[in-house]
Amino acid sequence: MAPKKRSAAAEALDSQTDVEASDAQGGEEEVVLEGTLVCALTGEHRTATPQEEVLQSLVEQLHREYDVALEDMRRDVRVSCVSVEEGGRQRTRSRTVSITVYESGKPKDVENIIRAVIVAKQGTKPTAQAIELLDDVLSNLSERRDEVYGLWTNGQDLAFRRRTFNRRTGEPQCEDLTDFPAPDESLEDLEEADRRPLRIASGDSLLRTFKRCHDYLYGNQSMRGDRAFWQLLYLIFAKILDERSSSREFFVGATERNSDEGCKRVAKRLHKLFERVKEEYADVFDGNERIELNDRALAYVAGELSRYSLLSTDADAKGMAYEAITSTTLKRERGQFFTPRNVIRMMVEMADPGPDTKVLDPACGSGGFLVVALAHVRRQLLAKMGCPQPEQPLPSELKRVDPEMRRYAAKFLWGLDVDPELRKAARMNMVMNNDGHGNIYSFNSLEFGVPSLMNDEMRRFEKASGGHRAFDFVFTNPPFGAKIPIENPEILSAFDLGHAWTRAGDNGWMKGNRHKKVAPEILFIEACWRFLKPGTGVMALVLPNGILGNPGEQMEFVRWWMLRKMELIASVDLPGEAFLPQVSVQASCVFLRRRADSELAFVSSEGLKQRPVFMAIAEACGHGRRGEPRYLRAPDGTELLEMESVTERRERNGKAESHQRVRQVRRIADDLPWIAREFQQLRTRSPA
């Protein structure tokens, strides 16, 4: 392939570190010290410590999930706490409450505090002594309120508490809860299955919840290997089935897990529900799976998950949460890694699959490409329905589009993976994102179409999908590396790229003997080409840069074969950090259209058709080499803040409400969304 030149898009991306870059996105910039963020409550610049980031996440959570107005919250409020020591002597201490919530419309004084949140330093153990600080605060809030609520967290663990008064002694007393009610809810709402509201997860709250549950099982339950991972997935699956049912079984009352009897009731409900899961999804489960958790552990995990509506939560939030635990587990246990979500989204947005286009990932892993394609089509359908913000749909809008999404997923989304456990993980991911799980098959994509290697699973896939020459889009990040070469002679014999080739004249090549072994990513190029519809089918692949630029006759032939069989549409060079900290690899995203048979049969004197190629070099991908977030910077290296106008949408009593909110934010330094938008604009100006 020709060496990459700096396109207009790539040159534009260089300015991301300049002030002009932020201007292009709209908004005024302000230079701030590195590692600084803006408090959503005060507008002040704060050092972005882990503790501060948790506090800001909780502000967003209280606002979005519990419907607490920002003006009803304050931070770092000092509360005088009086305690009686031995001998009857009173002692007064001043405690700092990280976030206080006040009764709406009332003065911001201690008498009107209805919720108190304490954010402890990262690493603080959730001991009774640590949580006693919160109890101390709650016990010294207004005595005229029969109950007030609080939350203690260290960024990972959550402890919800309620303060009441002992009926006999009149002394304040505190107890554990699985959640506290929103200001317009009561504790009774959280105790009854048919009254308890399901919250729509905001920001990173679902990611934190999944990780908290997984870490609890991995640590506290001594579940090593991938046992903790699968136990959590079983419960997530049960939660989704429950949300689709008329009666609620996946439910933990606010105080239910405080007693052994309550934990037993929860366990009984969930064991029964999981049996239903295995019956209704017999194509996913073998039937011998079981929940191995003791009653208290089961009640803990279920209590964490039961707060949220998984089906109504944003697809990207679900995807990031699900793939975080999936990728962590499979990297640790099997040495596998998955494509970063921002890379997937760029590839899907550039290829732009529509509601009537068939999509395949022949190495689908946990289903990342399929889920992002599903979300992409959902946004298209929501826009067609008249949804004003397809990126932020309301539950009623999701419900309206759900039948069409189920039809699309069942008919047009397909995935293959050689690992049967990954097939199960991908199917669960699809169920969590509107189904389509039946189209995930487990076999080696490189063996498909080789007569001697075809099995029943392959034949079922071929009959259902059409197999070769049937797909409009193929997305994949194939397994690659010299450590896992393909050596099966039956596979190698079936591929052009499984053979050695030598030059024959200026423009020709002569086929030679079969290679003894070939890197899998090379064969996947040809395998993906076979699945595409001739003339219109487009593939979007992640490929190591060695294929695109390494010298040597065999690599030259691979590139010649690609450009002979396909038309190059676009190539995006990814930064070296793109796959870190999972794995170090230099790679590009390559987009190619399969040529029609007629194009290959009748070649003009000018050669094969090749339109201008979109080429870009991404220099930032949102994170550094250790996975830490990276933000936009001014020319002198200082971080930039930008004013952002946000439209917040929610439903109250069946009616949609919208509110405008202006805030200062740090922009993640990620070129990939910019590249996708530039490509879309170019395609709009110069359609194929």
Q: pLDDT-based confidence at 15, cuts 50/70/90?
A: very low
Q: How many whole angstroms separate alpha carbon 618 and alpha carbon 545?
A: 14
DSSP assignments along 82-130, one per residue: EEE-TTS-EEEEEEEEEEEEE-TTS-SSGGGEEEEEEEPPTT----HHH
576 has pLDDT over 70: yes
Q: What residue ranges do the domains of the chain occupy?
A: 46-186, 205-305
Q: pLDDT-based confidence at 6, cuts 50/70/90?
A: very low
Q: How many whole angstroms separate alpha carbon 606 and alpha carbon 604?
A: 5
439 has pLDDT over 60: yes
pLDDT value, residue 573: 97
pLDDT value, residue 35: 77
**Scanning the structure block, which residue is given the tokens 């934010």?**
665
16 has pLDDT over 70: no
pLDDT value, residue 11: 39
Model confidence pLDDT, tens digit, residues 654-686: 788 888 888 878 889 999 999 999 999 998 877
388 has pLDDT over 80: yes
Long-range interactions of 191-194: CB distance < 8 A, separation 24+: 191/253, 191/254, 191/255, 191/256, 192/253, 193/247, 193/248, 193/249, 193/251, 194/248
Two structure tokens written together for 490: 């039956």
pLDDT value, residue 655: 83
254 has pLDDT over 60: yes
331 has pLDDT over 80: no
pLDDT value, residue 29: 62
pLDDT value, residue 463: 97
pLDDT value, residue 105: 93
Q: pLDDT-based confidence at 649, cuts 50/70/90?
A: confident
pLDDT value, residue 688: 60
pLDDT value, residue 404: 93
73, 98 in Cβ contact below 8 A?
no
Nearest by Cα to 437 from 593, 280, 571, 305: 280
pTM above 0.85, yes or no: yes
Burial-class residue 28 by CB neighbours within 10 Å (0-12, 13-18, 19+).
Answer: exposed
Mean pLDDT score of the chain, rounded to an integer? 89
pLDDT value, residue 182: 96
Rounded percentage of the chain residues whose pLDDT exceeds 70: 92
Range of lowest pLDDT (35-49, 363-377, 452-466) = 35-49
Q: pLDDT-based confidence at 604, cuts 50/70/90?
A: low
486 has pLDDT over 60: yes
The stretch 175-193 carries a mean pLDDT of 95
pLDDT value, residue 255: 96
**Scanning the structure block, which residue is given the tokens 């419309």?**
105
**Scanning the structure block, which residue is given the tokens 């039809």?**
407
The stretch 132-158 carries a mean pLDDT of 95
pLDDT value, residue 641: 79
Q: pLDDT-based confidence at 332, cuts 50/70/90?
A: low
Q: How many whole angstroms separate alpha carbon 199 and alpha carbon 160?
A: 16
Q: How many whole angstroms separate alpha carbon 102 and alpha carbon 499?
A: 73
14 has pLDDT over 80: no
Q: How many other CB atoms are there within 10 angstroms of residue 637's CB atom?
A: 9
CATH fold of the domain at 46-186 = tt1808, chain A (3.90.1570)
Model confidence pLDDT, tens digit, residues 213-244: 988 888 776 676 688 888 999 999 999 999 98
pLDDT value, residue 482: 60
pLDDT value, residue 28: 59
Two structure tokens written together for 358: 């068939």
The stretch 617-639 carries a mean pLDDT of 88
